[in-house]
Chains A and B, each alone.
Chain A
Amino acid sequence: MVLPTNLKHLATANELTALINEKENVMVCCGRMGPMCIPVYGVMHEIEPEYQHIEFRDMAFDSPEAHIIRNLPECRGFMGIPFVIYYKNGKVAAATSSIQSRDQITKILDKVFVK
């Protein structure tokens, strides 16, 4: 189960685990194709060329495999999609719930994934 976005997709929890173990900087947007999520995919797609040191991925929130994100301790209390997770060296460095603007996203990227 993958989302019809322009981003690279994560279909399984194993894929996510392998990616964050292999790559230093990973941003994953776990959502649906709804109004709060689509703008975040759009921002990720647009900024991808500027942030080549970061891996951008999406994951379907309703996939059973997305338990790997839904059940993160950092997502406790989250009640708005998308859940966006920023992984640094395999660990969660930041997590947000609900829609975020381009400014809010790039502020986190610039802070968490310093070039």
Chain B
Amino acid sequence: MRIICEFNRLNNYKICGNLFKIQLIYMENQHYQAIIIGGGPAGLTAGIYLSRAKVKTLILDSSIAGGQMILTHKIANYPGVENISGYQLSMNMLNQAKSFGCDVMSGISIQKIDFESTIKRLELSNGKQFSSDVIILATGGRSRTLGIEGEELFKGKGISYCATCDGDFFQDKEIAVVGGGNTALEEAVSLTKFAKKVTIFHQFDHFQGSKYAEEEARNHPKIEIHLNTKLTRFYGEDSLESVDYIDVTSNEIHHQLFDGVFVFIGYEANTEFLQGRCIELNKFKEIVVDSNLQTNVKGVFAAGDATTKKYRQITTAVADGTVAALNAIEFLKAL
């Protein structure tokens, strides 16, 4: 095990009368063999495999461990576990990683990264500095938002991203659902239990969801469908009252009253901090990896929803975490 100490930071000085008192704060640059950025299922699994192989490992997470998994109310398709909440599965994985000696730091953000040197270096928002031989990027993804005027203002005040959580606030109200995939279509049908009327807005001329989900929505008497439309603005005072939407075929803008809008327009990768750096991303800003989950930079691997892949499930993230960790172990052995 290598420990690299750098005494490199003059943090502050005080002027006391005629005396200059200089206080030096020595920052210890702690070295890990592997640092995993992201504590979702991919990152936690990589942490379990690496720590169990006695690789000194640190997981860094910007929020709390679990990633998007924690937002899942009930997981019924994780093999070997009939029913479990996303939170519980996250905590199980986290505790398992810690039990093998994996260090975990949550609620941090990364200020600086040097990927390209043989020894990778990171500086966190709290001033702590770390170095490692290997980095695994497991930053995951997040629900896409519309990014239009009023969205942030009315989040939780009429705009929702979870039908299970907030559906009952809209008893006998008129609501809209935005999106054209399975989630949007299925949640639109489920929201008819509460709402008087549900209008689906979708930007394309056809749905991306399954035929079954589409038929359920199309045949439902409470559901109206507006294809080729995009919401452009939200209005209201204490809560959401109305929206503007554009017909993309005619460019006509319409105004319509709604008490609520549910947004289900897919996911995007958490890779902002990688943009413009040496790590190759595709046009969707996802991390490009080879079959060993190695990025274009030596010693930097990537796993989970932030990578270029077709299917994004907890099980596929767990598989990625495993593959990235095993390849990282091989890489470390060859050093």
Contact = CB atoms under 8 A, between A and B. Distances in A.
A97 interface: yes
Interface residues of A, number: 25
Contacts of B85: 33, 38
A102 B166 contact: no
B156 A97 contact: yes
B130 interface: no
Nearest to B236: A77
Interface residues of B, number: 32
A37 B70 contact: no
B64 A42 contact: yes
B180 interface: no
B165 A34 contact: yes
A contact patch SS: loop
Interface in B149-169: 155-162, 164-166, 169
Interface string A72-98: 000011111100000000000000111
Given A32-B165, A36-B165, A47-B107, A97 B64 contact: no
B242 interface: no
Contacts, number: 91
Contacts of A47: 107
A35 B156 contact: no
B63 A81 contact: no
Given A35-B164, A42-B87, A96-B156, A79 B169 contact: yes
A37 B169 CA distance: 15
A79 B165 contact: no
A52 interface: no
B160 A39 contact: no
A77 B156 CA distance: 9
B156 A46 contact: no
Interface in B87-107: 87, 106-107
B170 interface: yes
B156 A78 contact: yes
Interface string A40-78: 001100110000000000000000000000000000111
14 contacts: A39-B63, A42-B70, A43-B107, A46-B107, A77-B236, A78-B156, A79-B156, A79-B169, A79-B240, A80-B157, A80-B165, A80-B166, A97-B155, A97-B156
Interface of A: 32-39, 42-43, 46-47, 76-81, 96-99, 101-102, 106
